[in-house]
């Protein structure tokens, strides 16, 4: 996918594709590594900064590739520890990237663990009834370069010092692919982008530090289990029976639990690492003790960790989170069943950190999309 300028983003190129393009242009193949080093280790924002390349080569790079496929419209910093970037793409679409900081015991805020949440599509086609990202439907997939460039934006804000002194090229510790969009519906671009993030010539971030979250596309989960990259997987379950899941996640019609759970099992068995089941708690929808018991059984069969997320209110939607005692009672059923469980009392609540909400508000304010009445979604 190319931007309006018609140029492919340079952050979507791999060592292989860049080498091939340089060769075709009559350049020495080793220039590819030099260029990638400028991009990732030295954080060059333009071809002009790449001073050990010839002027004609720099001019060719600038003509051939887009260096800034995303532009920051500003950040909202919450009173806790979350930063949310609203980014504009070349076709004027908006996406979001979030930094979540978890302070570490005994060290200052500057040494806090940083997790970056990235988007993979503009909008989302899956239309989960509780989610802001799905409200205006799907617009398009992000290209690999647009996915990688979100992380470059984070690195630039977090750590302007260049070049990087050590092998730690990324200015963050973990990535969660939990922003706008369904990552496994943009499979090829996602895998290409995460390959670039993982590569020693790219951001050099271990695949175990990357978690992909899916609403449950069973065939793509099977496919992902075959990949050598070794990514972590989170599944948005949100209902422990087909009846409950179907009410809030239309994807469950295509991939009901009898298809989804075996795919999850295949992934878990192949990787030998725990997968995570995400479970948003929504009052009177999925917060009953029967659901907790059914979820316990699923989690035990999969040997999965459960992440309970009290629902984050979305403007225009009728859902609310259960009271804290109810959340605790739900979690206790899982604990008593010896399931590993956390309740994410989420950070950044006050800046609308749940996926898609900032973009939704901006587009409504700009009049690009109309708000959806609550009744239509219920």
Binding site for ligand SF4 (CB under 6 A): 124, 126-128, 131, 133-134, 181-182, 215, 236, 355
Q: Which parts of 229-248 interact with ligand SAH (CB under 6 A)?
A: 236
Cα–Cα dist 278/208, whole Å? 18
Cα–Cα dist 335/132, whole Å? 31
Buried b (16+ CB within 10 A) or exposed e, 162-178: eebeeeebbbbbbbbbb
Q: What's the token pair of residue 103?
A: 């302070």
Which partner in ligand SF4, ligand SAH, none is near 178 (CB below 5 to 8 A by kind)? Answer: ligand SAH
Annotation says 49 is catalytic: no
| Shorter beta-carbon distance to ligand SAH: residue 18 or 116 | 116
Cα–Cα dist 151/69, whole Å? 12
For strands 305-310 and 121-123, give the pairing: unpaired
Q: Quick one: the chain helix, strand, coil %, rounded to 5? A: 40, 20, 40
Contact flag: residue 311 with ligand SAH (CB under 6 A): yes
Contact flag: residue 130 with ligand SAH (CB under 6 A): yes
Contacting residue, 314, 334, 339, 358, with ligand SAH by CB under 6 A: 314
Which partner in ligand SF4, ligand SAH, none is near 121 (CB below 5 to 8 A by kind)? Answer: none
Q: Kindly write down the DSSP assignment for every residue of 144-163, as one continuous string.
A: HHHHHHHHHHHHHHH----S
Cα–Cα dist 146/322, whole Å? 37
The Cβ of residue 135 has, within 10 Å, a number of other Cβ atoms equal to 26
Whether residue 163 is preceded by a cis peptide bond, meaning omega within 30 degrees of 0, is: yes
Annotation says 278 is catalytic: no
Cα–Cα dist 116/205, whole Å? 12
Site track for ligand SAH across 262-281, x = CB under 6 A? ----------------x-x-
Contacting residue, 309, 341, 351, 358, with ligand SAH by CB under 6 A: 309
Contact flag: residue 213 with ligand SAH (CB under 6 A): yes
Contacting residue, 214, 220, 252, 352, with ligand SAH by CB under 6 A: 214
| Shorter beta-carbon distance to ligand SF4: residue 15 or 122 | 122
Which partner in ligand SAH, ligand SF4, none is near 314 (CB below 5 to 8 A by kind)? Answer: ligand SAH
Cα–Cα dist 338/322, whole Å? 23
Which partner in ligand SF4, ligand SAH, none is near 134 (CB below 5 to 8 A by kind)? Answer: ligand SF4
Contact flag: residue 218 with ligand SAH (CB under 6 A): no
Site track for ligand SAH across 317-356, x = CB under 6 A? -------------------------------------xx-
Expressed in angstroms, the distance from the first to the final Cα of the chain is: 34
| Shorter beta-carbon distance to ligand SF4: residue 31 or 238 | 238
Catalytic residues: 96, 355
Give the residues lining the site for ligand SAH (CB under 6 A): 130-131, 178, 182, 213-215, 236, 278, 280, 309, 311-312, 314, 354-355
């Amino acid at each position: 996918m190319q931007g309006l300028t018609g140029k492919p983003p340079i952050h979507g190129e791999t060592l292989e594709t860049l080498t091939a393009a340089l060769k075709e242009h009559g350049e020495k193949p080793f220039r590819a590594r030099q260029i990638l080093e400028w991009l990732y280790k030295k954080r060059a924002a333009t071809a002009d900064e790449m001073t050990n390349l010839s002027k004609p080569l720099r001019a060719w790079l600038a003509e051939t590739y887009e260096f800034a496929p995303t532009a920051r419209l500003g950040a909202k910093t919450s009173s806790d520890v979350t930063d949310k970037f609203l980014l504009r793409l070349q076709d004027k679409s908006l996406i979001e990237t979030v930094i979540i900081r978890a302070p570490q015991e005994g060290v200052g805020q500057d040494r806090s663990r940083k997790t970056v949440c990235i988007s993979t599509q503009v909008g989302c086609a899956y239309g989960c009834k509780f989610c802001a990202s799905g409200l205006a439907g799907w617009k398009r997939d992000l290209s690999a370069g647009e996915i990688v460039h979100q992380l470059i934006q984070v690195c630039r804000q977090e750590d302007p010092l260049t070049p990087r002194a050590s092998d730690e090229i990324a200015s963050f510790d973990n990535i969660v692919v939990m922003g706008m969009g369904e990552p496994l519906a943009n499979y090829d671009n996602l895998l290409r982008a995460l390959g670039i993030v993982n590569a020693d010539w790219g951001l050099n971030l271990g695949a175990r530090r990357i978690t992909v979250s899916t609403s449950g596309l069973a065939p793509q989960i099977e496919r992902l289990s075959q990949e050598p990259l070794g990514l972590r997987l989170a599944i948005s379950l949100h209902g422990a029976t087909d009846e409950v899941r179907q009410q809030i996640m239309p994807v469950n019609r295509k991939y009901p639990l009898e298809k989804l759970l075996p795919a999850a099992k295949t992934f878990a068995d192949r990787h030998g690492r725990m997968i995570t089941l995400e479970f948003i708690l929504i009052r009177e929808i999925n917060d009953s003790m029967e659901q907790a018991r059914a979820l316990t059984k699923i989690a035990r069969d999969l040997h999965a960790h459960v992440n309970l997320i009290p629902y984050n209110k979305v403007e225009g939607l009728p859902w609310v989170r259960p009271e804290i005692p109810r959340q605790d009672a739900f979690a206790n059923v899982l604990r008593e069943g010896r399931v590993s469980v956390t309740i994410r009392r989420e950070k950044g609540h006050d800046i609308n950190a749940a996926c898609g909400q900032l973009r939704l508000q901006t587009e409504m304010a700009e009049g690009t999309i109309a708000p959806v009445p609550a009744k239509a979604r219920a």
